[in-house]
Amino acid sequence: MSKLLKRALKISLTPAILMIAGKFLGIMIPSIIYDLEFFVENNIQGLFSIQILFTNPDVTLFINSISNIVMLIILALPTIYFIIKTSIYQSSLQNPRTVVKMTKLNILKWITKQDTTFLQIFIWCTFLIISSAVIIIQSLQNISYQWTGIVAGVVSLFCLWGTVKTFELETDKIYPKENRYY
Amino acid sequence: MPNNRENLKTVFTQILEPFALGVLALLFIIPIITVMNLTPLTKQLKKLDVLGVTTQDGVKVTLVGGKHEVFTSENLSKIDEEHYTYSAILNKRASDNYSKPIIELENKNDAEIKLTFLGQTLSNTKSNIFLLVNEKSYRLQDSKGNTYTQEITIQPFEKLTVFLAIENLSGVQFSEEYDMDIKIQDI
């Protein structure tokens, strides 16, 4: 088995688990906080076997929107962190000013070792885009608030742009830009 | 030897790689399906087909269940909001009295509720069949096969356990089916 595949499998596990956990916690926590009654129905037929049911359509809409946002935040925060960390790491290699700023902000840890790979950012971003697509579809179907769809779209576009920038930084290592190095 | 081992490892990894790709694809597909599955839906409670949870206006009818050598295959079905049916198989038995708790009734209203019970066996086995509630007996079928409608009143917020009892003066050598209608009269 190739190393790339092994690493991809290893990296994919965490966002996959967090995506499910985010959605689940997003349903459970507000239900407990607001003391909302819900039921779980088992449907033997079809792909969607377990259904969480609320008796009020407004409550269903609220809980679904909150759970979507929780899932999005859980996936977006690490992705943004990885993108920023990699960008700063690359910037610090080329620009001493970045190192000074990092020292002032007391986040030198971010640039002492390169433990974030492009593959990691790519996989996290893919999960983020998948979850954003689900949220946008649900917003269009009116089963989630419209603003959740807009937020998901903006966040995923921002992360996609960050991932592309990170990819450019990675390719710069192999094929340095002519105007800078030659 | 080391060459053979290396070759075996290479072949093994080549076989494993497509499966690993499948697992990687599943790692993306499973969360999507799970998230879609976890999306909450709206459903009115009265439409939930779960017996014993509740009925309208707080009348709770629950099957007790459990194992008994004479009363087996018990089933409680909800026909509509005011109508339930209970069925059981009465197995072959020696001449004796037998009883078993079959249903729990709970009145969650602040007014009393009346329930009527009417049941019979498909064949006459010369058995007397009763309901026992709070040490009172209510005859549902006599040894000649005549049936009787019985009315039980539940006080506000009262919980009752209904027993089904059979009295046999002679042994019964075959199983018979017993069906009973339960109707909520006053809601």
Residues of chain B in contact with residue A50, where contact means CB-CB under 8 angstroms, are: 37-38
Least CB-CB distance to B13: which of A1, A23, A126? A1
User: Mean of the pLDDT values across residues B19-48?
Assistant: 82
Confidence grade of residue B47 (pLDDT, cut at 50, 70, 90): very low
Question: In this complex, do B35 and A131 lie within 8 Å of one another by their Cβ atoms?
Answer: yes
Decide if A20 touches B, using CB distance below 8 A. Answer: yes
Q: What is the pLDDT of residue A124?
A: 94
State the Cα–Cα distance between residues B81 and B20, nearest whole angstrom. Answer: 53
Check whether A155 has a pLDDT greater than 90.
yes
Residues of chain A in contact with residue B26, where contact means CB-CB under 8 angstroms, are: none
Radius of gyration of chain A (CA): 20
- The percent of residues in chain B predicted with pLDDT above 90, rounded, is 6
Q: What is the pLDDT of residue A22?
A: 94
**Run of H or E residues at B119:** strand B113-121
Measured over all CA atoms, what is the biggest interatomic distance in chain A, rounded to whole angstroms? 68
Radius of gyration of chain B (CA): 28
Q: What is the number of domains present in chain A? A: 1
Domain layout of chain B by residue ranges: 1-40, 46-184
State the Cα–Cα distance between residues B62 and B66, nearest whole angstrom. Answer: 12
Residue B156, SS3 per DSSP = coil
Q: What is the pLDDT of residue B64?
A: 85
DSSP string, B72-91: EEEEEEEEETTEEEEEEEE-
Check whether B48 has a pLDDT greater than 50.
no
Q: What is the pLDDT of residue B53?
A: 47
C-beta of residue A98 within 8 angstroms of C-beta of residue A49: no
Which residue of A55, A66, A125, A145 is the best one to mutate when testing the B interface, meaning the one whose CB has the most B CBs within 10 A? A55
State the Cα–Cα distance between residues B31 and A128, nearest whole angstrom. Answer: 12
Tell me the per-residue pLDDT of B157-182, one tens digit each, with 9 for 90 and over. 888 889 999 988 888 888 888 889 99
Question: In this complex, do B28 and A49 lie within 8 Å of one another by their Cβ atoms?
Answer: no
Tell me the per-residue pLDDT of A41-87, one tens digit each, with 9 for 90 and over. 776 555 667 788 888 888 899 999 999 999 999 999 999 999 988 88
Neighbours of A168 (CB within 10 A): 11
**Which residue type sits at B101?**
P
Q: What is the pLDDT of residue A128?
A: 95
Neighbours of B79 (CB within 10 A): 11
Residues of chain A in contact with residue B16, where contact means CB-CB under 8 angstroms, are: 1
A 41-80 residues inside an 8 A Cβ radius of B: 41, 47-57, 60, 63-64, 67, 71
Check whether A112 has a pLDDT greater than 90.
no
CATH class of the region B46-184: mainly beta
CB-neighbour burial class of residue B161 (10 A; exposed 0-12, middle 13-18, buried 19+)? middle
Give the nearest chain B residue to A131 (CA atoms): B32
Check whether A139 has a pLDDT greater than 80.
yes
Q: What is the pLDDT of residue B106?
A: 86
User: Mean of the pLDDT values across residues A106-127?
Assistant: 81
Decide if A137 touches B, using CB distance below 8 A. Answer: no
Tell me the per-residue pLDDT of B49-95, one tens digit each, with 9 for 90 and over. 445 544 455 678 888 888 888 888 888 888 877 888 898 888 888 88
Q: What is the pLDDT of residue A152?
A: 96
Q: What is the pLDDT of residue A71?
A: 95
Q: What is the pLDDT of residue A178?
A: 61
ipTM value: 0.83
Residues of chain A in contact with residue B15, where contact means CB-CB under 8 angstroms, are: none
- Helices (runs of H) and strands (runs of E) counted in chain A: 7, 2
* Chain mean position to CA B93: 24
Check whether B42 has a pLDDT greater than 90.
no
Question: In this complex, do B35 and A143 lie within 8 Å of one another by their Cβ atoms?
Answer: no
Measure in Å the smallest separation between the Cα of A79 and chain B Cα atoms: 16
User: Mean of the pLDDT values across residues A89-101?
Assistant: 77
Beta bridge partners of B104: B62, B161
Beta strand B113-121 with B150-154 is antiparallel
Q: What is the pLDDT of residue A161?
A: 94
State the Cα–Cα distance between residues A64 and A25, nearest whole angstrom. Answer: 11
Mean pLDDT of chain A: 85
Question: In this complex, do B45 and A13 lie within 8 Å of one another by their Cβ atoms?
Answer: no
User: Mean of the pLDDT values across residues B20-28?
Assistant: 91
Tell me the per-residue pLDDT of A119-134, one tens digit each, with 9 for 90 and over. 899 999 999 999 999 9
Check whether A39 has a pLDDT greater than 60.
yes
The parent domain of residue A73 ranges over 3-181
CB-neighbour burial class of residue B110 (10 A; exposed 0-12, middle 13-18, buried 19+)? exposed
Decide if B36 touches A, using CB distance below 8 A. Answer: yes
Q: What is the pLDDT of residue B186?
A: 59
Decide if B21 touches A, using CB distance below 8 A. Answer: yes
State the Cα–Cα distance between residues A69 and A149, nearest whole angstrom. Answer: 9
